[in-house]
């Protein structure tokens, strides 16, 4: 039986249960397939029915997003020879965009560029949405992508923190794709985010390790932003938490994961010092569950500003420090170390999807004109 003889709704139901990458290839075969699989209604159906995608690792090398593959059996690390392609719309040629930082949420990448632009990019479908900041974007700003997880359909938004150290002042504003505009939400003065901190997305909300600055002694805590209520919330660290180095990640795209590391004040004859490390995941009840501990590891493995990924089931933790050296720890043993090249310390999970960025519309269904990038 040929697919053309099948009812259209049955064809869509069948295809909605196919993973994202084969569907993207199918879109390229004809205009009819492209129109059907690019529709918003199909994207919602696919999000509800598709099998869970395999999580990929991405990093930034020479301002390009690259896939990283780790073989735990050898073990070995391989960076894909070709970076994910993001064309610069301001260039008449096929020039690529120089990316300074990248943030992942729901199969979409929020990228800040070297020339201080913002773009939301779906590498799987190739869709992009360039966003013009309300005022001049600074390198010290924090930007995060999230969505209203209480809505029947995901409404994506961008949070921007205009971070100032002296005096401590965080102006925060939101970009709403439905209105194609920014609005200031408020100013926070009782906490600050160090320059090396990285944010992480879990189920549409964003998390950081922040420092309380309202009164001394200062202490760290987990700060989250709920894109549904557009409000900040606080979450305590595990107690006790005697670690000078801390970082956040996500496990299986659904659990917040915390790493803590501290250096010993003991130095060996060869100049080496050692660190201890522990990793926790947060449970459905909001408590912290420790699943990995590593002791007497060379201190160069860990540094402020590093990224990490964790696999609770296989007891594997992968780190990328600020020297761009990737380390693999498995079952409490240091099994691999490799320099990836470049200077970035960004290591993220990326899950391919057909997620679409909603279009801003005017009354009557007309699309709003995008601001110039």
pLDDT of residue 92: 78
Instruction: Tell me if 367 is assigned to some domain.
Output: no
Both 258 and 337 in a single domain? yes
Both 123 and 261 in a single domain? yes
Both 154 and 212 in a single domain? yes
Domain that holds residue 196: 52-349
pLDDT digits (tens, 9 = 90+) for 39-98: 667 777 766 666 666 668 899 988 999 988 887 777 788 888 888 889 888 887 778 899
H helices of the chain, in order, are 8-15, 20-27, 31-38, 40-49
pLDDT of residue 120: 95
Both 169 and 29 in a single domain? no
Instruction: Tell me if 4 is assigned to some domain.
Output: no
Residue 118 pLDDT greater than 60, yes or no: yes
Both 176 and 276 in a single domain? yes
More confident residue, 315 or 282: 282
Residue 199 pLDDT greater than 80, yes or no: yes
Both 30 and 106 in a single domain? no
Tell me how far apart the alpha carbons of residues 295 and 305 are, in angstroms, rounded to a whole number: 20
Tell me how far apart the alpha carbons of residues 71 and 74 are, in angstroms, rounded to a whole number: 6
Contacts by 211-215, CB closer than 8 A, 24 or more apart: 213/168, 213/189, 214/190
Both 204 and 285 in a single domain? yes
Within 8 A by CB and 6+ apart from 43, the residues are 354, 355, 356
Whether the Cβ atoms of residue 77 and residue 86 lie closer than 8 Å to each other: no
Instruction: Tell me if 359 is assigned to some domain.
Output: no
DSSP state of 11: H
pLDDT of residue 194: 83
Q: Pairing mode, if any, of strands 56-61 and 347-350?
A: antiparallel
Both 16 and 89 in a single domain? no
Instruction: Tell me if 92 is assigned to some domain.
Output: yes
Instruction: Tell me if 188 is assigned to some domain.
Output: yes
Instruction: Tell me if 90 is assigned to some domain.
Output: yes
Rounded to the nearest 5 degrees, what angle is found at the Cα of 197, between the Cα atoms of 213 and 325?
Answer: 150
pLDDT digits (tens, 9 = 90+) for 214-226: 777 778 899 999 9
Both 34 and 133 in a single domain? no
Backbone angles phi, psi at 251, to 5 degrees: -110, 125
**pLDDT band (50, 70, 90) for residue 369:** low
Backbone angles phi, psi at 290, to 5 degrees: -80, 130
Domain count, the chain: 2
CATH number at residue 100: 2.120.10.30
Tell me how far apart the alpha carbons of residues 365 and 373 are, in angstroms, rounded to a whole number: 24
**pLDDT band (50, 70, 90) for residue 364:** low
Cα distances (angstroms) measured from residue 228 to each of 131, 174, 204, 205, 262: 20, 12, 9, 8, 36
Whether the Cβ atoms of residue 158 and residue 118 lie closer than 8 Å to each other: yes
pLDDT of residue 45: 72
Instruction: Tell me if 363 is assigned to some domain.
Output: no
Q: What is the mean pLDDT of the chain?
A: 80
Both 284 and 317 in a single domain? yes
Both 142 and 215 in a single domain? yes
Both 40 and 57 in a single domain? no
Contacts by 275-284, CB closer than 8 A, 24 or more apart: 275/245, 275/299, 275/301, 275/302, 277/302, 277/329, 278/243, 279/310, 279/317, 280/238, 281/251, 281/255, 281/256, 281/257, 281/310, 281/312, 282/235, 282/255, 282/256, 282/257, 282/258
Instruction: Tell me if 151 is assigned to some domain.
Output: yes
Most confident of 49-53, 225-229, 285-289, 363-367: 225-229
pLDDT of residue 270: 46
């Amino acid at each position: 039986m040929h697919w053309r003889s099948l009812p259209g709704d049955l064809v869509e139901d069948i295809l909605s249960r196919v993973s994202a990458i084969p569907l993207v290839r199918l879109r390229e075969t004809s205009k009819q397939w492209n129109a059907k699989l690019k529709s918003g209604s199909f994207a919602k159906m696919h999000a509800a029915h598709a099998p869970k995608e395999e999580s990929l690792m991405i990093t930034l090398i020479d301002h390009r997003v690259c896939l990283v593959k780790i073989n735990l059996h050898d073990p070995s690390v391989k960076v894909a020879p070709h970076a994910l392609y993001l064309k610069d719309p301001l260039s008449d040629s096929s020039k690529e965009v120089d990316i300074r930082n990248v943030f992942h949420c729901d199969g979409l990448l929020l990228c800040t560029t070297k020339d201080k632009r913002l773009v939301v990019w779906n590498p799987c479908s190739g869709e992009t949405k360039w966003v013009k900041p309300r005022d001049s974007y600074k390198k010290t700003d924090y930007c995060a992508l999230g969505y209203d997880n209480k809505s029947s359909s995901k409404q994506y938004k961008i949070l921007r923190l205009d971070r100032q150290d002296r005096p401590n002042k965080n102006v925060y504003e939101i970009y709403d794709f439905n209105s194609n505009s920014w609005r200031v939400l408020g100013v926070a003065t009782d906490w600050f985010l160090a320059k090396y901190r990285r944010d992480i997305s879990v189920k549409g909300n964003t998390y950081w390790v922040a420092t309380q600055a309202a009164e001394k002694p200062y202490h760290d805590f987990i700060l989250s932003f709920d894109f549904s209520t557009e409000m900040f919330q606080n979450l305590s660290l595990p107690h006790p938490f005697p670690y000078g180095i801390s970082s956040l990640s996500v496990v299986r795209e659904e659990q917040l994961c915390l790493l803590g590391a501290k250096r010993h004040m003991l130095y060996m004859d060869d100049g080496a010092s050692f660190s201890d490390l522990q990793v926790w995941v947060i449970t459905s009840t909001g408590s912290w569950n420790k699943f990995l501990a590593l002791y007497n590891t060379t201190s160069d493995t860990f540094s402020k500003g590093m990224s990490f990924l964790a696999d609770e089931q296989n007891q594997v933790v992968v780190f990328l420090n600020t020297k761009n050296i990737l380390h693999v720890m498995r079952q409490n043993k240091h099994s691999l170390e490799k320099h990836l090249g470049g200077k970035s310390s960004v290591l993220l999970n990326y899950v391919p999807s057909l997620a679409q960025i909603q279009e801003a519309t005017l009354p009557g269904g007309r699309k709003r004109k995008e601001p110039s990038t």
